[in-house]
Amino acid sequence: MAEERNGKAANIFDVARLAGVSHQTVSRVLNGLPNVRPATKERVEKAIAQLDYSPSPAARALVTRRTRTIGLIMPNNVDYGPASIAMQVNIAAREARYSVDAVSVASDDGPAVRASIEALLRQRVDAVVVVVAHDAALEVVNSIDVSIPLVASASAPRRGPRLVAIDQYRGARSAVTHLAELGYERILHLAGPEHAPDASERVRGWRDELGARRLEVIEPTHGDWSAASGHRIGGELEITPGTAVFVGNDHMAIGLLSALRQRGLRVPDDVSIVGFDDIPEAGFLYPPLTTVRQDFAALGRSIVQKALVDLEEGEQSTVETPLPTSLIVRESTGR
């Protein structure tokens, strides 16, 4: 019988605390995964023995029925962010010796997302991961009742037990902080689609940072994540020398850079530009793009680890803290 903690059997988090490691590391040891140092593995195994820990009865009942398959639902577009998340989930699942059964659906089609989850359940996958690109998909994730772990890559003002995310809000604030510290008082925002959770969080961060600095908030203009929309909007925006633009992703920033050149505005001499994502091409643009980097590899690992921990415990684990971003300063911003 597992050692009692306040009337409850020891769980994976008790093991992690006693061993001085993360619950993800405990999960790796339990699942026999690679990349755990021998000394760390020994500490975890001693903690497991000391606490007489074993996965919950519900999880043990699942063991003999596992297919070692994770269902992945992703939007049917080629946007850099969702595509990168899906790729990294595949890599992390492979490292954990799980296969991935992927389904793509229209990102704004909530009923299709729900139907896809239900179809994957019938295929007896061990967990489902949803890459969220629209509020409709997020609503389904938050409301659907399932008997296996359901993990979503999704940003939201309020964190939830099913959500794993990169901190879009603080990433946006760091971009505005950088521009404000360069002396800009007029900082526009070319945002992503209105119903995209990541775009909404970036808008919220941009708005709050401007408000904290008592700078004017000019309502954002929304693109569709594409360079074409950035170019179109760049030809329409009221941009004069001394303006800065925080752009919701790097591809729209590429289009904006092209439009500004056609208008005779120099970057960064006349206008400073900050993007978001740090796509592989960002450092090779003219000028190289200042941007907010997202660690998609860490996100993929966190998503898969959460799914495995929830599977091991037979219930949802604790709410995850959003992963940090980093500001990469290049030549598209200047005083």
Helix, strand, coil in percent for the chain, rounding step 5: 45, 15, 40
Segment 49-73, tens digit of pLDDT: 888 887 665 555 445 467 889 999 9
Q: What size, in residues, is the chain?
A: 335
Spatial separation of the C-alpha atoms in residues 328 and 175, rounded to whole Å: 9
Which pLDDT value is given to residue 197?
96
Please say if the pLDDT value at position 1 is more than 50.
no
Q: Is 308 helix (H, G, I), strand (E, B) or coil?
A: helix
Q: Tokens 């526009």 sit at which residue?
A: 188
What residue ranges do the domains of the chain occupy? Answer: 4-54, 62-165+296-323, 168-293
CA-based nearest residue to 262, from 224, 230, 222: 230
What rounded mean pLDDT belongs to the chain? 90
Look up the pTM and report it: 0.81
CA-based nearest residue to 133, from 80, 170, 205: 80
Element spanning 153, H or E: strand 150-153
Which pLDDT value is given to residue 309?
85
Question: Which CATH code fits 168-293?
Answer: 3.40.50.2300
Same fold, 4-54 and 62-165+296-323: no
Token representation of residue 284 = 């090779």
Residue 80 has what DSSP assignment? H
Which pLDDT value is given to residue 235?
96
Spatial separation of the C-alpha atoms in residues 98 and 312, rounded to whole Å: 14
Question: What is the domain class of 62-165+296-323 according to CATH?
Answer: alpha beta
Q: Is 199 helix (H, G, I), strand (E, B) or coil?
A: helix
Segment 219-274, tens digit of pLDDT: 999 999 999 999 999 999 999 999 999 999 999 999 999 999 999 999 999 999 99
36-40, 109-113, 182-186, 240-244: the lowest-pLDDT one: 36-40
Token representation of residue 68 = 């070692």
Segment 280-318, tens digit of pLDDT: 999 999 999 999 999 999 999 999 999 988 887 766 667
Element spanning 271, H or E: strand 271-277
Which pLDDT value is given to residue 223?
98
Cα separations (Å) of 96 from 231, 303, 315? Answer: 42, 12, 20
Which pLDDT value is given to residue 33?
67
Question: Which CATH code fits 4-54?
Answer: 1.10.260.40
The better pLDDT of the pair 105, 36 is held by 105
